[in-house]
Amino acid sequence: MSTRLASLALSLILVASTAQAAPLPGDWPTLVDQARGQTVYWNAWGGDPAVNRYIGWVGERLEEAHDIEVVHVKLDDTAAAVSRVIAEKSAGNVDDGAIDLIWINGENFAAMKRNGLLFGPFAERLPHFALTAPKENPEMLTDFTLPTEGYESPWGKAQLTFYYDSARLEQPPTDMVALLDWAKAHPGRFTYPLVPDFLGSTFLKQALIELAEDPAVLAEPAETHDIAAVTAPLWNYLDALHPHLWREGRHFPRSGPELKQLMGDGELSLAFTFNPSEPAAAVAAYQLPPSTRSYVLDGGTLGNVHFVAIPFNARHKAGALVLANFLLSPEAQARKQDIDVWGDPTVLDMDRLDAEARARFQDAEDNPARLPPEALEKLLPEPHPSWMQALEAMWLERYARG
């Protein structure tokens, strides 16, 4: 995007933004100058060391290039950040919020959008946003069936990917029914994270999509359907599965990293992740054995794009915009995709990059634990965010131990 177009785009922000102490500059270079010296408080999940190191590197680059300090406020649950913004709005804090940027999607984005807690629209105004080719890749504009309308900026992709130790398991199960049969034959060798951990909740959604009589209803708000009837096949399935899980389903790992550790320790033979490159990255980091292999289910697996958003009352909007734009740069996206760094897939369209930028994304080594891109083409869309809320509440009611 040219500087002139960026200037025009940023001028439009002035019309759409809400409750700012001072208007943002109408051109990108001036906005970048305004951002100098700011401290951007980025609320983001802090449950994985590789992710935390990457965010730390982002902070180093922003400080070097723009004199912007990035403070990673590590979250266990993004809902806590949403609750804070809600509380600030209720208290009349409209221009001095504690959060400048949030790593967010799904039900949390829906809640913030519904309650008028977002600044923008801004995403399509970022100079690097055009590199995602949103017209050709509409998933850059949709979050769990909801149009983002420019209130979020994409920065990574995810797809549910299963992985297993081929030294222990020759033929892994390729659908949910086969998974149940395999678990019965190999008790204690599989489990899923404790709900409402995001990965655990994703497992529930994947199972429901396969088991529901009419999965098309999951694209619609849950409250418009008989939730108990739609979800009954899932609870019947989990009732049958749980006795055959690790620790007989009485205890669950608390997160994806804990699930991966159980695989690395040899306690499990089969697990899953929401990052297709994570098994290969873990092999490279000696966290999983070289015999690790990845696959997706025959009918496809859930996938989505993850985003960053700016609260309506962010104190340092200029710095947050510069940070969001940097996250979309070829430099930042290529480093994020590197399995020796994180392995999170890029949101950039390679056809929009020049040869030098594309070269950043070329892998020097083949890793047998990593799936080829064509293996990830069977992508299932996320259900409406209300289904995730319903599933988590019902799971906790049925299975949470006091």
Three-state secondary structure of 313-343: CECCHHHHHHHHHHHCCHHHHHHHHCCCCCC
Residues 311 and 361 in one domain: yes
Domain membership of residue 372 (yes or no) is no
Residues 72, 188 within the same domain: no
Q: Where are the alpha helices (DSSP H) in 67-170?
A: 79-90, 107-114
Residue whose entry in the numeric block shows the structure tokens 């709900």: 195
Nearest to 117 by CA among 75, 141, 151: 151
Whether 224 is covered by a domain: the verdict is yes
Residues 70 and 138 in one domain: yes
Cα–Cα distance for residue pair 392/389, rounded to 1 Å = 5
Q: Are residues 66 and 143 both part of a single domain?
A: yes
How far is the CA of 25 from the CAs of 32, 40, 282, 305, in angstroms?
9, 18, 44, 29
394 within domain boundaries? yes
* Residue closest to 307 by CA, chosen among 160, 161, 129: 129
Count Cα neighbours of 187 within 13 Å in the Cβ-side half-sphere. Answer: 8
Q: What is the CATH number of the domain that holds 173?
A: 3.40.190.10
Tell whether 229 is covered by a domain: yes
- 120 plus 234 within the same structural domain: no
Q: Which residues of 278-301 are buried (b: 16+ CB within 10 A; e: fewer)?
A: bbbbbbbeebbbeebbbbbbeebb
Residue with tokens 């994703």: 202
Beta strand 101-104 pairing with 39-45: parallel
Give me the phi and psi of 341, to 5 degrees please: -110, -60
- How far is 402 from 309, CA to CA, in rounded Å? 35
Number of independent structural domains in the chain: 2
3-state secondary structure of 157: strand
Strand, helix or coil at 374?
A: helix
* CA-to-CA dists, residue 208 to 96, 387, 391, angstroms: 42, 10, 9
Three-state SS at 50: helix
149 shares its domain with 205: no
Q: Which amino acid would we find at residue 119?
A: F
3-state secondary structure of 270: strand
Q: Are residues 163 and 97 in the same domain?
A: no
Residues 289 and 342 placed together within one structural domain of the fold:
no
CA distance 238 to 247: 15
CA angle centred on 398, ends 394 and 401, rounded to 5°: 120
pLDDT of residue 375: 80
CB 201 within 8 A of CB 394: no
Domain that residue 353 falls in? 3-157+306-366
Residue 313 within a domain: yes
Residue 361 resides in a domain: yes
- Is the same domain home to 9 and 57? yes
Do 236 and 318 lie in one domain? The reply is no
Q: DSSP code of 72?
A: E
260, 342: one domain? no
What's the rounded Cα separation, in Å, for the pair 46 and 255? 11
Could you report the average pLDDT of every consecutive run of 10 residues in the chain (402 residues)? 42 39 79 97 94 97 98 94 96 96 94 95 94 94 94 96 94 97 97 95 97 96 97 98 97 95 96 94 92 95 95 98 98 94 92 94 76 82 94 96 58
Tell whether 371 is covered by a domain: no
Residue-level pLDDT at 1 = 43
- 231 and 253: one domain? yes
C-alpha distance from residue 85 to each of 6, 19, 143, 199 (Å): 29, 14, 20, 24
Locate 152 and state its tokens. Answer: 């979020």
